[in-house]
């Protein structure tokens, strides 16, 4: 995406190598994000059907594109060019 917007710039890559360590803390107790919470962070609607195997779901969501972010970047690009 970034190379498309500026072919001479450095492309930024995010990795999920430590995604299994991410979570939230409630009452001083850490817990993992649920598959549904991960889907929401990626912009999927609540009626989106998730794979019944949580490991597969985490992998799919980790490899997905956050559509609202891409949409916002493209809208900003077209409005400013």
In contact, 17 and 62? CB cutoff 8 Å: no
Q: Report pTM.
A: 0.62
Task: Report the distance separating Cα 71 and Cα 76, nearest Å.
Answer: 9
pLDDT digits (tens, 9 = 90+) for 7-57: 566 555 545 555 555 667 788 887 888 999 989 988 899 999 999 999 999
Give the C-alpha separation, 53 to 67, whole Å: 23
1-16 pLDDT, tens digit each: 444 555 566 555 545 5
Q: How far is CA 8 from CA 1, 40, 44, 75, in A?
A: 12, 33, 32, 21
């Amino acid at each position: 995406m970034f190379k498309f917007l500026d072919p001479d710039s450095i492309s930024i890559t995010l990795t999920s190598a430590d995604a299994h360590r991410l979570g939230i803390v409630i009452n001083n107790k850490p817990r993992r994000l649920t598959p549904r919470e991960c889907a929401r962070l990626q912009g999927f609607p609540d009626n989106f059907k998730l794979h019944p195997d949580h490991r597969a779901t985490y992998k799919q969501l980790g490899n997905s594109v956050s559509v609202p972010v891409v949409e916002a970047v493209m809208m900003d690009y077209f409005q400013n060019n």
